[in-house]
Amino acid sequence: MSIIAFTNARIFDGVRAQYLDESTVVVEGTKIVEVSSAAAHRKADEVVDLRGRTLIPGLIDAHCHVLGSTLKVAEIETQPLTYVSHHATRMLGHALRCGFTTVRDVGGGDAGTARALEEGLLQGPRLFYAGRALSMTGGHGDFRDPMVAVGACSCAAESRVSAIVDGVDAVRAAAREELRRGAHHLKLMMSGGVLSPTDPLWMDQFSDEEVQVAVEEAARRRRYVAAHCHPAVSIARAARLGVRSIEHATLIDAASAEAVKSAGAYVVPTLVIGRALLDGAATAGLPAWAAGKLKEISDQALSGLELMHRTGLKIGFGTDLLGPLYTQQAREFALRREVQPAIEILRSATSVNAEMMQEPTLGRISVGCEADLLAVDGDPLADVAVLDQDGKGLAAIMQRGTWVKRLSP
């Protein structure tokens, strides 16, 4: 295995608010094997001088939908799988070029895509997936037109994005099936959402017993549950019932924030999807019911993030972009800068996401961690906007010890 030494670097390790005193990181194979002073590093096959640049861990996007080929979610079920797969290839390639060396799919991603990435059939981040999200009938994962009479069972059978399940036994069976297929976590739809046609945003979804059985089944596999939640009541309830990762949390209030903090749960805001939809609402063809719900959550997205930050919640980093909006992934950094300091945004996109996902070798620059590394032009602790350039601010990208982008001579 070749040994590569990065020297003369400012090093952000994914956690500390200051750069490390050490200035050399040594990679052997796929792992970081040394973080030391420049004079102490072992003999390397390749030495990369990063003077004037910053070395940071590879970024993690914890809320993606790799098969989300269109904003009209119901059409994902009827589009040819070849088309949907080509969208995934394009989206994942863009993510990696932006510095995202890991993504978590919370509805739709599957073993086939994950294996293709592992075997190098396509280039992109490593993928952790939930498989199909679990939704109650009429919930956020039920995208059927209310004017079309289709049974829930037949709708769920070949679904790519979600499985419609009602009752404790059905939830248990569906949870076990997704875990059998290799799901890294389970995803529950616990409130109304913007792009689902029959549920208002304020609607609380699934019974306590249905949620608890999913949490129980995930725990059996040493996995966890992520839950889609917009309103405060759903956020607090998810935390109380043992959900580890609360997605969006857009309409969070002081009481639900305290509930999340008391439970030790995480929140994953996704600001960019709301902004992107608003920017293109006139051309995206959103129906009136979706546009109204979008306006309701967008008005509180930034204030919700500010409350999370002020309360001291564990805040992850996600984007939730569908269809052509995947190109705005890096914009999440610029939006969060309106509320959070750079260090907190960087932690969210590295070590906090890794901790939430129960992946201790990701999101950090430390001995034994995966060699997912980005050489950044500039000082991201001073201005995180350097990461909001679709990868243009990245001088080099390494994933699993392999070059994705080399430093120019």
Could you tell me the two tokens for 352?
Answer: 């906090």
Which residues, other chains included, contact 25 with Cβ-Cβ below 8 Å and sequence gap of 6+?
A: 5, 6, 9, 11, 32, 34, 35, 55, 365, 373
CATH assignment of the domain containing 184: 3.20.20.140
Whether 125 and 188 map to the same domain: the answer is: yes
End-to-end CA distance of the chain: 23
Q: Are residue 303 and residue 372 in the same domain, yes or no? A: no
Radius of gyration (C-alpha) of the chain in whole angstroms: 21
25 vs 75: CA distance, rounded Å:
46
Let me know whether 178 and 35 are in one domain.
no
**396: containing domain:** 3-58+363-405
Domain count, the chain: 2
Closest CA to 245 of 270, 222, 257, 228: 228
Task: Tell which residue, 72, 73, 66, has the closest CA to residue 91.
Answer: 66
* Whether the predicted model's global pTM rises above the 0.85 cut: yes
User: Within this chain, do residues 96 and 131 fall inside the same structural domain, yes or no?
Assistant: yes
Residues 6+ apart with CB under 8 A from 99: 58, 59, 330, 374, 387, 391, 394, 397
DSSP assignment letter at 406: P
| Whether residue 52 sits in one domain with residue 70 | no
The encoded tokens of residue 31 equal: 């792992």
Rounded distance between C-alpha atoms, residue 399 and residue 120, angstroms? 12
**Residue 103 sits in the same domain as residue 86:** yes
Whether residues 16 and 135 share a domain: the answer is: no
- 141 and 197 part of one domain: yes
pLDDT for 97 equals 98
From first to last of its 409 residues, the chain has per-residue pLDDT tens of: 799 999 999 999 999 999 998 889 999 999 999 999 876 667 889 999 999 999 999 999 999 999 999 988 888 989 999 999 999 999 999 999 999 999 999 999 999 999 999 999 999 999 999 999 999 999 999 988 887 765 544 444 458 899 999 999 999 999 999 999 999 999 999 999 998 888 999 999 999 999 999 999 999 999 999 999 999 999 999 999 999 999 999 999 999 999 999 999 999 999 999 999 988 765 566 777 888 888 888 889 999 999 999 999 999 999 999 999 999 999 999 999 999 999 999 999 999 999 999 999 999 999 999 999 999 999 999 999 999 999 999 999 999 999 999 998 6
Q: Check residue 152 and give its pLDDT.
A: 43
